[in-house]
Structure 1
């Protein structure tokens, strides 16, 4: 009985194919893929984390591209030469460690459009302050809502 391979692509050589896109994550749908060579292209971005699902890979290379970011754990078993020439790649099996990610806190500040302050608005604010102070001084029981503090209110 002859051994037959399961259906699917076993070898995907795309060396020097002049690819200049990010590596598509749907390559991982090729479950029987055992050789993937993408070196000498202009691939950019990160190596997709979906590559951790490619348990059957026995040969892998993305050397001499424009890749960056950490190398997925399933690919860390391959030789460093398969990742060479990608200045942005980091982590095992390369010697450079990945920088720790910092949490970026974005604060959105809404810009308020302030209208020009003129004499009328200054006079209105001053009159409102004086009226509010006089009313609170002569009728403090209107502004003290706690019944326990009412005995301490004295009338003038």
Structure 2
């Protein structure tokens, strides 16, 4: 068993992010080391199980490249949206359908914030300081991912393995 430390970033109070490129590099380093110490070659691997913690949001552009840092499930920048939805009774309507509660790091909440930033209906630019690439975002399932989904996309890009 092997793991590497990976820091959460907090560029502003209440923000919790992770550098997606660093995350991928750590994953590849761990896999390389496991292969080296196990004596198993990469060609012998027929499958990889992917598991992840929590939720969050990993935004990709149309070429599957990260649009800034991943937003972790512990991020709290969407507090105002969650409060408003609570006042409107949204959680009570949502839970019977999804068995999920709403919190600030829930992907649906984060996507709502991202969409508001993209369309200019959000006052604060919370997603990134230079908003230049944000309008290029196409909000479809392929481009708003949770961590395990990001790993699946990356694992299909063989040039990214470097093993």
What TM-score do you get using the length of structure 2 for normalisation?
Answer: 0.21
Would you tell me which structure has more helix in proportion to its own residues?
2
Larger Rg: 1
Would you tell me which structure has more strand in proportion to its own residues?
1
What TM-score do you get using the length of structure 1 for normalisation?
Answer: 0.21
